[in-house]
Structure 1
Amino acid sequence: MNKRGYLLQSRCYLKKGVERMNQIVGFIGTGVMGKSMVRRLLAHGYDVRIYTRTKEKAEDLLTEGATWVDSIASLANQVDVVITMVGYPKDVEEVYLGEGGIVQNAKAGTYLIDMTTSKPSLAKQIYEIAASHSLHALDAPVSGGDIGAREGTLAIMVGGDETAFHTIQPIFQALGKNIVFQGEAGSGQYTKMCNQIAIASNMMGVCEALAYAKKVGLQPENVLKSIESGAAGSWSLSNLVPRMIKEDYSPGFYIKHFIKDMSIALESAKEMGLQTPGLELAKSLYDELANQGEENSGTQALIKWYLST
């Protein structure tokens, strides 16, 4: 959709009574999820500034109404809210706390929202350092994949100060539907780990069910119709099995990023003395796939492991 189309869509949202804040929003991390999230913000009438290492990679978003900024420092100084959706905890740390990063350059009173799935301990560290600079930091990881990002139906799990959470609600409402304040800094990330732990074992069950159906000669599409609305139903079953059946392994969520998430969850569980055998097994299977060159495939590519055995 071009810039004119997004302006028309924005007017439509506003006519329907969708609230928005008169804030300039900076966005860092325009990958599979980030691009759709930027488009949601544009559609809701926000002035969105984006940073990418190369301007060419942002041309489609610029055509649709976003403004490109040539450095993190410059972006942080221009906006009222900074949203980050980057790859790994090391990226989060660099973007926020590194030289020329957000915390050093943001104006006092700026809201910092990290929507990356990252380490709870890092979320707490960023919160404390941000507070010392009169900045409001929230950890707000999401679930829902590329579909949720595109349709604005993400589940958003938020940690930090509750007052800041309520102030930023209109932005969250542009991006998701299930928006829950979980508690103090780090709570959003801890909640996302619960989400990823549940998905890890569920993905194994989903793939095993599909592999079983194929093995006995059933029609997978018909099996899905029967089981997705019953006790076996899950988001992964309804949204990822159709991709598996079509042999569509394009990423809504990269295997390499899921491995990162599972590693964080395992590390955190170990610190608490909690055993997570299902999570350990799931990670080992995904590690095998990554070693076979599937790290940039979507998580639904796990079915390949079952069908190859």
Structure 2
Amino acid sequence: MTAIVVARAVATNATGQSTLDLCLRSALSEPWVDDLVIVDQANAPAVSSALRALQLDRRDVRVVVADARMSAAAAANLGVAQARGRWLLFLDSDVVLQRGAVQRMATSANGAAAPWIVGGRLTDLEGREKRAARGGALNTFSALAVAMGLPGVKRARGKRKSSKPSAAAPVASVSGAFMLIGREDFSALGGFDEAYVSDAADLDLCKRAADAGGSVLLQAEASGVQFERQRKGRRQAQGLARFAVKSAKTPLERMFALFAGPAIGALIGLRDAIGGRRGGRR
């Protein structure tokens, strides 16, 4: 298995350390991870130098440099081109894995319909769960729900097919910040759509997997801690607007797609403004 980490414009503290250091250590400590590909994109010279030093020190680490103008999806695809494993673990540079998480995700894929994608659970530093998956089905209007921070429609609960506590749950999508997929499946799906600048490429990949008759699963017993980041609203709006356009099938969806960009941008701006006021009152 190859872990792929896109390290873009990594911020460091006064001592030169960053969450990337913790992320890489957690990935390399996982027994199921055979090699690690780090995509060095738009980083300060000190960060790039440290990554090259790590590559020289370890045979299981490779560093590839991505142009700063590349989209996040293109940078991830560049990392895949350097991967050796038959499974690909995509990990954001601010995610630190819980011990054993990769094994739990990998075993969840046994018997799953291909192309399959398995995601893990994400929490913040205080242990609060972050939205790493969506229920229901993905369509054009899912872009609105994501922009507003709304959860997906929950599936009706029936009898569990497996009594094992480690059984993964079918979902509509999982986060690209913590995602496992077979390399052959990734190639068959055409990889990430490189037109997504920073957000929603994971939604798009999951939708294409489901449309192809595959499985999208969430393994809640595989978890990672994701450090807080400031999201750039305009970049998120671009990705969600593209997702809305690509997903439009019905006349109503196509009509909405015509105005998706401005509508989603306005919603994200309103969401961030409300969130900022709430944060200031704490």
TM-score with structure 2 setting the length? 0.35
The structure number with the bigger radius of gyration is 1
TM-score with structure 1 setting the length? 0.33
Q: Which has the higher helix share?
A: 1
Q: Which has the higher strand share?
A: 2
